[in-house]
Amino acid sequence: MTNASRAASRTIRGWLVRRSALAILMLLIVSFLIFCATQALPGDVALIVLGKEASADQVQMVRQQLNLDQPVLVQYLRWLTALLQGDFGTSLVSRVPVTDILLPRIMNSFFIVTLSMAVAVPVSLALGVLTATRKDGLADRTIMAGSIMVNALPEFVLGLFLVLLLSTSVFHVFPAVSLLSPGKPIWTQTDRLAMPVITLILLQVTYLYRLVRGTVIDVLQTEYVQFAALKGMSPRRILFRHVLPNALVPAIQAAGTIFAFSVGGVVVIEYVFGFPGLGTALADAVGMRDIPVVQAAVLVISVTFFVVNIITDIVSFMLTPPGRGGRN
Amino acid sequence: MSDKRTIEYLTTTRRNFLLGTTGAVLSLGVLPGSLAFAADDAVTLRVAATGSNADSLDPHRTQGQITDIVRFMNIYDGLSEYNPDASVGLSLAESFTPNADSTEWTLKLKAGIKTHDGKDFGADDIIFSVKRILDKEHPTKGSALISFIDPANVTKVDAATVLFKLKDPYGPFPDVWANRYLRMVPVGFDPAKPVGTGAFKYVSFTPGRESVFERFDDYFREKAKVKTLQIVNISDAAASINALRGGQVDMAYKIPFAEARIIVADQAMKLLNNPSAMAIPIYMRTDVEPFKDVRVRQAFRLIANREQMVKVALAGYGAVGNDVQGRSIAPCGPTPIEQRKQDIAQARKLLDEAGKAGLTIDLVTVNGTSGMVECAQVFAEQAKAAGVTINVKVTEEAAYLANYGNWTFGVDFLSDAYLPVVARSLLPGGTFNTSHWNDADFNALYKKAVSISNVDQRCDVIHDMQKAEYERGGNIIWGFANTLNAYKAGLAGIEPYVVDSPFYHLRKVSFA
Amino acid sequence: MTPSLSRRTGSQSALVRGLRNSRSLIGLGMIGAIIALAIVGPALAPYSPSELVGVPYDIPNPDTLLGTDSLGRDVLSRFLYGGRNLVWMAIAATTLGLSIGIAIGMASAYFKGMTDEILMRLVDIQLAFPSVVFALLFVTMLGPSPLLLVILVGVSQAPSVARITRGAALGVVERDYVQWARAVGIPTRRILMSEVLPNITSPLLVELGLRLMWSISLLAGLSFLGYGIQPPNADWGLMVNESRNALTIQPWAVLAPILAIATLSIGGNMFAEGMSRAIGRTEGTK
């Protein structure tokens, strides 16, 4: 290990510790905000549990059973204490532990997001580099136009079109609804994942590839690349020596952001395909005022965001070629 | 996503790289699982219905979502049951025998009824179930229906006979047990390991997702035709239709009216049009302004162009109503009251007389059953002609329920035969009495009706009750909605039901 | 990723230069066309948007040129009325998001230190809630009103604008004339408004286009989930939601609003794309 790299690893460690401490502090703030926001949801949980036939007595009874009578702050502290012990509480609606409801859903969402990213990231890198090196050619223009269109359509519209195209009207390749059997592992039911995964891939690639393309074009215009070309370095070597390492960092940062956003933000896509994921669980729980589930789901999404952010930061930190700027 | 793999990819040539990933995308389509969902069609009946994470296997302590009802109607039985035409037939019961003034009813059970765990089902189980339904500690949906029973006065006569002693006469005693919320369960019932007497027995259950049941071979009457029953939760109507279309399910419960044409146009699917007893009343609170004044209520009833409401809000899948509950179904036949028609001039006149000309009011509705939002919008449009401004407020289900029973002007839905609907929605204290109607004459008529066990005599009283509703009630009952279901062409044994649903009798369904 | 600040000249020339690019012109034209449609549409509508003119999902005929929707209302009339809400809300939300984001970003870059740290961590917290989740929670809490939707969409856009602004402004605040203005005691607000802001318009113009596209997408998505504009209002997002099940039997009720939404959104995208090309930056970030 050279002195320089030892120094670098020390800085990484210090920076990492600071980053993590800050993330934990922010998570605390976020958790309090989540708790306050969810406690303030209008609508009486007791009534929803009982339905519209409930009498006043019955409602009062359920309300007491559910401890809805205590002050919000007391409830928050209790919630947080339990949370730190790994107890996410019990669903008000189905009366089972929140983890029982959410864990499979979280796994499902992570699975399709990871699967789609595993395809989208390499495809985006390839497309980005390809179109950047053939800037303004026919392929570049066509792909760009296509990606603008896909990107411009609201997610649900894209989903609806894909259903018409691949499931119900034109072709009948994939099932339109992601009816996963809860008893079987998700990876054995790939046919049912196809539609949401394809939709995600399309959305991710059309965004990510343009970012790669932009960065590559930027790098190609820099003086040192121009200089390398003048020196007679082969275009392929320029690409691998100079362009790709520089294009990779923003791409990875963006990929991290996309991952975090996809996990929490696929509500609409999950809804279109009836996919049993975190997004639909959250939307259902909000509708039913199942507060513990809402709180846990939102918290999971926030934690994902912070963790992914830290990971992408570390990766970009390590990949940033020394002496060429790096993060600001 | 690993940067390492990205770099590996990058070391291959760009051309191969692109081909490789394209291959990966395409290979999703040819995975072995692709066609698996069509594999065991012939033995498994797959049914899509609306449910939630609150799903349960408890027939009494339920929120009453469709998935729950479909489940417990198929794994438990009632003492009596609705026939397709809304008449009541006997199910677990062999006979109901009243004394002279209908204050004592003797129930005799059929012989040879077995539970899923192989035990005999008898009088003790009935008494246990009645007590469970009426348990004050654990509120149930069915308790209001049999609140006239004191569980202490239900006694076992012998292993197959139970005696119910009532405080007041109750004529329609055998009919009440046909209600879906009054299923019978064996002594020691545990919803975690549900045991019943029904045509299907429990295999697995994941709330909010799916549940699986298999045929019960010792069923006390004709057993189910399919070996396995799978009930899956699909809440979105479009997803339901898509799942049916793509062959992922065989039957779909939720088909909105306007979309029924999609099913009709598709050769591979069949539409089941049940002429149900479901009314979608627009209710007016009779105890507060502006509807305290009967003239305002009658004016609003005259505003409704009922044909247009049925044609638009129900896409024609329904019948015009006459501000009287209970579609003219068995056993009483049509109501001998003249059909009310739109009369804007008269409506304006009544509003003028009441000093309420140019009224502006909010109409609260919810995205519940198909037609609830639509009818409110159509009515608001029609009201413009009478100078009345109606602002339709589409609330979320949770918000709607939180204030249920307090809205001044709103939309509800009710589905049942006449007397049960009255008990729950037109009498003081009824949990569905959204119009807060409390009419002394009407209440007296109801008391009289339930004390009579002769059907014809009871129907005479019912006609008088309907007249009172027509003249001064608080509901605009503009129409009765049919219930639309869809199923895969080729299924047999599915017939339309007026009060129940073919989904409640899945043992009759088979793959032709 | 730092944009080359040296090439930046001034706000007018950035816009003018940007508009010389055919893409931004076309993009602006598309946005303009939809705004015009939203404004004059109601005057051209043959029926009122809530009038019941026929049976549900009637196919196009001489009376109803684009057929009818789920309630038998005229699709063409609803289409012509339905743009107003989405257009004003998208524009208002974008403006709000840009204003908040620019303010935070500039303050962060200018004051540095603690202010920077706190503001950026606030931005992180906000980013930790995906826009849809954020909107879902608040709409459930406060009820779906247009003003609330504008605020929610605007606020959820602000963090990324703040990051872009901060990144661009960091270089500008170091320049001599800003340092000089600071030294001679020119009020901070004036420095930010007349020295810093004009020099960071290029990335912000790109951001404007992207944010507009995101606002539209988010607003339409919320309508689709039932958390947006409420019936019986005519609204493009709502129209898609109401009639999406009937796509195969009466496609116009869905296609017409989708085409309009897509045009607006593609317009925003092309404007951003053209701007960044003309300015020399190749692509905006999220």
Instruction: Among A103-117, B418-432, C22-36, name the one with the lowest average pLDDT.
Output: B418-432
pLDDT in tens, B59-109: 998 878 889 999 999 999 999 999 988 888 999 999 999 998 889 999 999
C6, pLDDT greater than 60: no
Beta strands in B207-243 (DSSP E): 210-215, 228-233
Q: How do residues B182-194 score in pLDDT, each as one tens digit?
A: 999 999 999 989 9
Residue B1 has pLDDT above 70, yes or no: no
CA separation, residue B139 to residues A59, B65, B124, B191, C14 (Å) = 9, 16, 22, 15, 69
Nearest partner of B371 among B260, B221, B251, judged by Cα = B260
Residue-range domains of chain A with CATH: 94-324 (1.10.3720.10)
- Alpha-carbon span B274 to A328, nearest angstrom: 67
Q: Which token pair is B250?
A: 């065989």
Predicted confidence at residue A64, as pLDDT, reads: 66
Give the best residue of C23, C108, C129 to mutate against chain A (max A CB count within 10 A): C129
Question: Closest by alpha carbon to C95, among C140, C165, C161?
Answer: C161
Given a cut of 50, the residues of chain A with pLDDT beneath it are 1, 323-328
Beta bridge partners of B47: B231, B251
Q: Do A267 and C281 touch (CB under 8 A)?
A: no
What confidence category does residue C212 fall into, taking pLDDT thresholds of 50, 70 and 90? confident
The span from the CA of B488 to the CA of B507, in Å, is 16
> B420 falls in which pLDDT band (50, 70, 90)?
confident
- The answer to whether B156 and B74 are in contact (CB under 8 A) is no
- Enumerate residues 6+ apart whose C-beta is below 8 A from A319: A245, A248, A249, A252, B3
Task: Inform me whether the pLDDT recorded for C226 exceeds 80.
Answer: no
The pLDDT assigned to A36 comes to: 78
Among C50, C56, C245, select the one facing B237 at the smallest CB separation: C245
Sorted by sequence, the CB contacts under 8 Å of residue B258 that are 6+ apart come out as B315, B370, B374, C56, C57, C70, C71, C245, C246
What pLDDT, on the 0 to 100 scale, is given for residue C12? 55
Burial group, residue A25, by CB count within 10 angstroms (0-12, 13-18, 19+): exposed
DSSP run (H or E) holding B510? strand B510-511
Mean pLDDT within B239-261: 87
Cβ contacts (< 8 Å) between C52 and chain B: which residues?
Answer: 308, 312, 378, 381
Alpha carbon distance A9, A13 (integer Å): 6
First to last CA, chain A: 27
Structure-token pair, residue B179: 């209600």
Residue C159 vs residue A170, higher pLDDT:
C159
Q: To which H or E segment does residue B6 belong?
A: helix B3-11
More confident residue, B25 or C79: C79
Chains touching B (3+ CB pairs < 8 Å): A, C
CATH number at residue C101: 1.10.3720.10
Partner residue opposite A154 with nearest CB, options C128, C261, C283: C261
pTM given for the model: 0.79
Q: What is the DSSP string of C105-171?
A: HHHHHHH-HHHHHHHHHHHHHHHHS-HHHHHHHHHHHH---HHHHHHHHHHHHHHHHHHHHHHHHHH
| Average pLDDT of the residues of chain B | 85
Cis status, amide bond into C60, omega within 30 of 0: no
According to DSSP, residue B256 is labeled -
Helix pair A244-265, B3-11: axis angle to 10 deg = 130
Cβ of B398 within 8 Å of Cβ of A289? The answer is yes
Of B1, B52, B209, the CB nearest to A121: B1
Buried/exposed B367-383: b ≥16 CB within 10 Å, e otherwise? ebbbbbbbbbbbbbbbb
Between the alpha carbon of residue C33 and those of residues A153, C212, C261, the distances in Å are 18, 15, 12
Mutate to test the interface with C, among B234, B236, B259 (most CBs of C within 10 A): B259
Residue B510 CB contacts under 8 Å (≥ 6 apart), including other chains: B225, B226, B491, B492, B493
Residue B330 DSSP SS3:
coil
A316 to chain C, closest Cα gap in Å: 12
Task: Give CA B464 to chain center in angstroms.
Answer: 27
DSSP for B346-411, please give it: HHHHHHHHTT-TT-EEEEEEES-STTHHHHHHHHHHHHGGGT-EEEEEEE-HHHHHHTTTT-SEEE
Query: pLDDT band at B472, cuts 50/70/90?
Result: very high
Determine phi and psi for C142, rounding to 5 degrees.
-110, -5
- What was the pLDDT predicted at B505? 94
Distance from the A82 Cα atom to the nearest Cα atom in chain C, whole angstroms: 22
The domain in which residue C150 lies consists of 3-284
Identify the pLDDT of residue B327: 74
* Whether C222 contacts chain B with CB within 8 A: no
The CA distance from B245 to A174, in Å, is 12
CB C193 within 8 A of CB C171: no
More confident call, B414 vs C92: C92
Beta-sheet strands, E only, within B71-185:
80-82, 88-90, 93-98, 104-109, 154-158, 161-165
d(CA C104, CA C113): 14
**Coil, strand or helix at B288:** coil
Kindly list the partner chains of chain C, i.e. chains with 3 or more CB atom pairs below 8 Å. Answer: A, B
* Best residue in A52, A95, A119, A244 for a mutation probing chain B (most B CBs within 10 Å): A52
CA distance B364 to B373: 9
**Is pLDDT at B390 greater than 90 in this prediction?**
yes
Q: Calculate mean pLDDT across residues B487-506.
A: 91
Task: Give the integer Cα–Cα distance in Å for A25 and B427.
Answer: 57
**Per-residue pLDDT for C5 more than 50?**
no
Q: In whole angstroms, give the CA distance from residue A141 to residue B476.
A: 60
- Determine, for residues B378 and C248 on separate chains, whether the beta-carbon distance falls below 8 Å: no
Answer whether residue C118 shows pLDDT above 70.
yes
- Of A176 and B40, the one with more pLDDT: A176
The residue count for chain C: 286
Determine which of A168, A262, A318 to mutate to test the interface with B (most B C-beta atoms within 10 Å). A168
d(CA A239, CA A235): 6
State the pLDDT at residue B95: 93
Residues B145-161 have a mean pLDDT of 91
**pLDDT above 90 for B55:** no
- Is B48 in a helix, a strand, or coil? strand
DSSP at C195: I
Residues of A in contact with B140 (CB under 8 A): none
Q: For tokens 């949980």, what's the residue?
A: A45
Per-residue pLDDT, B507: 93
What's residue B488's pLDDT?
A: 92
Q: Tally helices (H) and strands (E) across chain C.
A: 12, 0
Are A122 and B5 a contacting pair at CB < 8 A? Answer: yes
Q: Is A151 on the interface with C (CB under 8 A)?
A: yes
Residues A120, A112 contacting (CB under 8 angstroms): no
Tally of domains within chain C = 1
What is the rounded distance in angstroms from the CA atom of residue A228 to the CA atom of residue A232?
A: 7
Give the chain B residue nearest C48 (alpha carbons).
B381
Residue B512, SS3 per DSSP: coil
The mean pLDDT value for C95-109 works out to 92
In sequence order, what are the beta bridge partners of B270?
B487
Question: How large a percentage of chain C has pLDDT more than 90?
Answer: 16
Using an 8 Å Cβ cutoff, are A211 and C283 in contact? Answer: yes
Give the DSSP H/E element, type plus range, for residue A16: helix A3-39
Contact across the interface for B258 and C57, Cβ inside 8 Å = yes
Tokens (6 digits) for C23: 């893409």
Question: Which residue bears the tokens 């469709």?
Answer: B66
Domain B277-482 falls under CATH 3.30.450.20: no
Using the beta-carbon criterion (under 8 Å), do B394 and C50 form an inter-chain contact? no
User: Residue range B281-285: average pLDDT?
Assistant: 95
Chain C residue numbers with beta carbons less than 8 Å from the beta carbon of A283 are 136, 225
Contact across the interface for A305 and C247, Cβ inside 8 Å: no
Residue with tokens 């608040």: C138
Q: Tokens 């939760």, residue?
A: B233
Return the amino acid letter for C60. P
In this prediction, residue B159 carries a pLDDT of 92
Note the pLDDT of residue B11: 29
Q: In chain C, whose CA is at the least distance from the CA of A258?
A: C286
